Each structure stands twice: as C-alpha cells, then as structure tokens.
Structure 1
Amino acid sequence: MQSSDLNMMMSCAPTIVRIIGGTIKELLDQGARTVVVPGIIPMGCLPAILTDFKFHGDNSSFDLKTGCVETYNKLSRYHNSLLLKAVKELRVKYPHAKIIFADIYKPVMNFVRFPQRYGFTSRPLIVCCGKGGEYNWLSFAMCGSPHVHVTACQNPSTYLNWDGLCLTETAYRYITKSWLRGPYADPPILDARTK
C-alpha cells in the first residue's frame, strides 16, 4: 500500500465513524436503551490482505513480530479510537442509555501474538477453509467456490481464520466471552445488563 492510499483511507475514517454515530443516535432517539458498538478487527492480519501484499512483493509493511500488515492495522486502530471517542460523547448526551464499546482488535491481536495460549495452531494467519498460497487463501479458490475444489481443515477449532475474511467459531467464542464478562467490552455486556 502506498502512503497516499493509506492517507485516503485514514481520511475516510471520520466520515464512517460519524455515520455510525448518527445511526446509534437514531436508535437511542427511537427508544433503544442498550447498544453494543463493535470496533473493527486488525485488517492487516486478514489472510486476504496478507496474500495481496505478498503477491505484489510489498514486504516493507509487514510487522516482523506478528506477520501482519502494519499499515492496515494502523488504520484499524485509528478507526477504533475515533469510534470509542464517539461512544464516549454519546454516553454524555444519553446518560440513561448503556452504550457499550466492544473491542475486537485487541483479542484478535492476542490470538495472533499468542496463538497456542488459546489452542490455535502456531501459524494463526493460515486459513482453515481455502486452497493454495502461503496463507491457504487465493481469491479464485475461496471457501465455498463453486468451480474449485476447496477443503476445510480437519480441526477448525485450532484455527483462528476460517476463510481468509472471517474468523472461526472458536475465535468468535473467545471474543464473545470477553465482551460478555470483560475485559474487551466497556462496560462488559453482562455488567451493563444488571445495572
């Protein structure tokens, strides 16, 4: 990714967050009392994006510790910081409502950094259901492709990535628990429900 591309995507983030904030405001104005606002995942860790960067020979953007594309992760962090700020502003305007920020970035980065701690393979960026390439992901041979024989791994619960764009059920289960009880929801969903 060239810096001009990243700058263009960064410049779109405030508009996207403003639209999300407006939608939350509409929900609250119509009577919603609890709203969960999820952030976005570290896009630079998606096998689809990783494959594209490898294909174009752009190795300068890779984080050597995680194997992810740092420029995309920077964009994800920026978006999430703007979204959290919007959530905090809405909490002031709607003190009667419970507005929960659900962070998906941090748990996914923990999965990538410490995969075996969560029971994932030591190569968490590999796709379970895919075919070919360094990450088992090719755009013309995606999971469910009608004209290409694509198989799933034997034990999906040990994989972080299902198809290069979505996580596995196991990953989502960990994330859900972290949102329900903490620490990756502010406030934890179950705490907000009981107060």
Structure 2
Amino acid sequence: MTRLRRSALLSLVLLGLVAERLVEVEATGCFPAIFSFGDGQFDTGGLSATFPTILHYDHPPYGQTYFQKPTGRHSDGRLMIDFLAEALGLDYTPAALQTVLSDYTSGGTWASSYSTIASVSSGNTAGPGLFLSPFGLNVQLMQFNEYQQTVNSVVATQARLKAKAAAGFTDDSPSENKKKQTKSKKTRHILQELDAEADMESQTMHPTAVNATLLELEAPTMRLPRSGSWGKALYLIATGGHDITNQYNNGKNIDTVVAGFPRLIGLIADAVRQIYRAGGRNLIVFDIEPQGCQPWLLTRIPHTADDLDWKGCLIQYNAVVQNFNKMLKSEVAVWREGYTDLNVFYFSQYDVKIGLLTNDTAGFNSTNTACCGVAGSTYNVNLMVPCGPPVMDPVTNITTVATVCNNPDEYLYWDGMYTTEAGNRYVMQQMLTGNFFDVPFPELTENCQLNPLT
C-alpha cells in the first residue's frame, strides 16, 4: 500500500475516532447549543464570508464597541444571539458559511444579512444602499440539513469502526511480544486490518504512531455538535423584515404587501416542519420589530408630521408590521397544538422596542436616529452613503464618509436599520425575563442558571 493511500485511510479512521469522542461529551447548561436562521439579526459573519470585503459592514467602524474590529456582524458589537449565548454559558455561535476555524460545539447560525423569507425573484431591487442576500430562509434550511447529514455520517462511520474493533481488533500498537499470542486467536491492530483490506497483495504490517497522529488531528476536529444537540438545542428564527421593505422598494403599495402575508407565514411554517424533522424540539420565533421607527425607513418614506405618532414613528408602516405579527403569533399557536412534543414560542421584539421608546429609565436618548451616519438629515441617514468606508454620493458627486456618535450605548439604532450592541443587549435582557413570550417558557427563563448580561 502506498503511503498516500495509507495516510488517507488513517485520517478517516482517526477523524471518526475523534468525532465520537466529541459527540459523547455532555453539554453543560440547559441548552447545549443554539441553531439559528433568519436575517442580519443573527448573522455573525455568514454573508461576509461569502462576499468578503465588499460589504460596507465588513469595514470599520462596525464592531468597534466590543470586538474592536469588523466581524461580519451588522452592528457596532454583539448581536442578540451573542448575548443569548453568554446567558446560556455557550461560546458565540459561528456562521456556518464561515468554516475556517469554526467551532460548532455550541451550535451554528445560517442566518444571512438582508435575507428574506420568500426567494427573491429576478428584477427586484433592494433599494438605495441595500443588498439582497441569495440565502433566503429555504436555502438556509437546505444548508442546515446538508450540514446535519454530514455530521451524522461521520458519527455513523465511527460507529461501524467501533463495532469492528469490538469484534476482535485493538487500538493498541502491535506488541513486540506477538509470540505470547495464541495462533488461534491472534489480535491485529486495526490499521493492520486496513492494510489487509486495501491492499491484499501486501501482507506487510507497518506499526503507526497512533497517539501522536490522533493528537495532531484532535484540535481541528473537536468542533462538532455535542451528543443530543439536535433534539436539545434551542432553535431561533428571525426574518420577514426585508420581505416587507423590499416590496416597498419595488413600488408595491401597502395593501399588496399585506395580501402576501399568508404566503410568507406558510413559508415559515415549512421551515418549522423542517426543523422538527431534523429533531428540533425547542424553537423561538421572533416577530418583526416596529419598522416605522427605523431611521432608514423614516428617511426612505416621504412623510409629514401627520403621518407620525407621538413617538415619531410612521403609523401606517407600523400597522403593517403589527398585521404580520398578529398572523405569525396565531400560527405559532397552531404549531404548538399540531406538534405536541414541540416547544415553540413567539417572542415579541416589537413590544420590547415600542416599550423602550416610552421607557425613560432604559438609558436610550436617541431611538429613531442612527448612531453611524451622515450628518445633515433628520435621522442621520443618507441612503446612498451607508455606515462604513468612504462612498461617493451620486447626488453630489462628493466622496463622503459616515461618522460615529460619541455615545453608541445611548442609541437604539446603529446604522439606521440594525440595532446597536446596547439595543441588542436590552432586547435580550427583556426576553430572558419571560414577559414577552406568547406563553411561558420556563425551560429558558426559570430552569436555566442564566449568566447576567454585561
């Protein structure tokens, strides 16, 4: 057998040996992992890994508050999913498409910034300064299913190797005291058996430094989900906002947008069924935040003072979101009855953020103005000059760069669309109180020993 063939077989064996060691590790805490799907609220670097350096949030000042560098997150620091991982005592959830050095023992996220529930059809425009992700919710679930099948295949391969070892092979190196072994029941090293199967013409057995090779492979392979993660993990879905705003950008009126909601809810239901078939039994579905309060939409939609409520939010556009959320909440209740062994919950970040606007003690002094943006507009947003590197404004033909506020922790919105780290922390703190679920979720809010969020 050639060295190359032998090395390949050896790597497969040891990869399986290490993989089984990984999946047998017991997780600490109430949920061993987080698996998430949706848009930029949970994207920890997936779209950035797919289109490196070309996206504006791949550049400073993104990430400046916590990571001190851009990390593919659409914020100045941590996202809601990062704070949830901290509360559960887990590592930050890596983006599944960011494969180099990713550690999936605490789960993974397939979420993608600017993604939608429905597949984006040709001819649609994202709107000024925006980008449409090719990784919609259905694609994310396909990617997750492929990932799960691959992990399960590795585990199954290891199970076969283990059964074969139990049938008469040892993983000790061949002993020099072979003479002590009886001829009728001679034990061979499993690598010797591989030699014999792969090259029947060669009967030469080559002892291998198994332990040394195992140690070399152990570090890069100890990154698989722990045993029981598929069924015990916490699954998250947060999407739908871009389905609505993309239709505005393509000239659809409010009535047309609302008429499409049943189809969108049905597509989320398809995703829930796929998660259930994959073994998921603990699921939180996030509703859509009050888009009428977003600095980006307030800049995008021409309006007068009569179009705004007393909080400065667009009344009609928040009503559209409320309509969607009402349908989604009702559907979650249907899923709960249809899947009696599925713990599925509806979490209202809409209510959290609306409440934040009236909570003077929360510490947010700017709730509808972007922290990072171009000065000169009411909401500190220039649709053609996003937060990030310098951009030439096509209206003025002047190269302009967005500037950052001095106190991001007092702002709800970072770049006009996505939330600051402080805002993400606040939303997650409110979620963990249990007050914004449609029904109580004691497995998370009471039974878990949650870490404080700082």
TM-score > 0.5, shorter chain as reference: yes
Give 1:174 shift. Answer: 1.3
SS at match of 1:144: coil
- Could you tell me whether the CA contact under 8 Å between 1:178 and 1:185 is conserved in 2? no
- Equivalent residue for 1:46? 294
**Please, what TM-score do these two structures have when normalized by structure 1?**
0.88
Give the Cα–Cα distance (whole angstroms) in 1 for the partners of residues 389 and 257 of structure 2.
29
Q: Deviations over 1:19-56 (max 9, x none)?
A: 11111122112210101100000010111111123xx3
Measure how far apart 1:170 and its partner are: 1.1
- Counterparts in 2 of 1:138-177, with a 5 A limit? 138-147=382-391, 148-177=400-429
**Is 1:29 the equivalent of 2:29?**
no
Would you say the 8 A contact 1:129–1:163 is kept in 2? yes
2:357 is matched with which residue: 99, 112, 115?
A: 112
1:180 correspondence with 2:428: no
| Structure-2 separation of matches of 1:80 and 1:167 | 19
Helix, strand or coil: the match of 1:44?
Answer: helix
CA deviation after TM superposition for structure 1 residue 182, in Å: 1.6
Residue 74 of structure 1 deviates from its aligned partner by 0.5
Contact 2:372–2:387 under 8 Å retained in 1: yes
Unaligned runs of 5+ in 2: 1-247, 392-399, 449-454
Is residue 112–residue 125 contact of structure 1 (8 Å, CA) maintained in 2?
A: no
Q: Distance in 2 between matches of 1:171 and 1:69?
A: 20
Quote the Cα distance in structure 1 between the aligned partners of 2:268 and 2:303: 35
SS in 1 for 2:404: coil
2:367 paired residue number = 124
User: Aligned pair in 2 of structure 1 residues 188, 127: CA closer, same or farther (>3 Å)?
Assistant: farther
Q: Which amino acid aligns with 1:104?
A: Q
Q: Whole-Å Cα distance in 1 between the matches of residues 311 and 261 of structure 2?
A: 24
Counterpart AA for 1:165: M
Task: Tell me which residue corresponds to 1:96.
Answer: 341
Task: Return the offset for 1:175.
Answer: 0.9
Q: Distance in 2 between matches of 1:17 and 1:98?
A: 18
Deviations 1:72-129 (A, max 9, x none): 1011111111111110000001111110111110111112233x321011x4211100
Instruction: Specify the alignment match of 1:15 in structure 2.
Output: 263
Give the Cα separation in 2 of the matches to 1:125 and 1:75: 18
Matched residue, 2:381: 137
Q: Give the 3-state SS of the residue equivalent to 1:125 in structure 2.
A: strand
Match for 1:67: what amino acid?
G
TM-score of the superposed pair, with normalisation by structure 2: 0.39
User: Is the CA contact (8 Å cut-off) linking 1:129 and 1:150 kept in structure 2?
Assistant: yes
The offset of 1:185, in angstroms, is 2.3
Structure 1 position 58, deviation (Å): 4.3
> Could you tell me how far 1:181 is from its partner in structure 2?
2.3
Q: Secondary structure at the match of 2:369?
A: coil
Change (3 A) 1:57 1:30: closer
Instruction: Tell me how large the CA RMSD over aligned residues is.
Output: 1.9
Q: Which of 22-31 and 87-96 deviates more?
A: 22-31
Structure with larger Rg: 2
Percent identity between matched residues is 27
Does the aligned pair in 2 maintain the 1:50–1:69 contact within 8 Å?
A: yes
Deviation at 1:169, TM superposition (A): 1.0
Unaligned regions of 5+ residues in structure 1, if any?
Answer: none
Q: Distance in 2 between matches of 1:103 and 1:57?
A: 27
The farther-off stretch of 174-183 and 39-48 is: 174-183
Q: Does 1:192 align with 2:443?
A: yes
The residue identity in structure 1 corresponding to 2:323 is Y
Q: Does 1:73 align with 2:318?
A: yes
1:61 aligned onto 2:307: yes
Larger mean Cα displacement after TM superposition, 76-85 or 177-186 = 177-186
Count of matched residue positions in the alignment of Structure 1 and Structure 2: 187
Counterpart Cα distance in 2 of 1:187 and 1:179: 12
Cα offset, 1:66, TM superposition: 1.0
Give the letter for the 1:185 counterpart. F
Amino acid corresponding to residue 437 of structure 2 in structure 1: A
**Aligned residue type for 1:171:** G
Q: Which runs of 4+ in 1 moved over 4 A?
A: none
2:328 equivalent to 1:83:
yes
Letter in 2 for 1:146: P
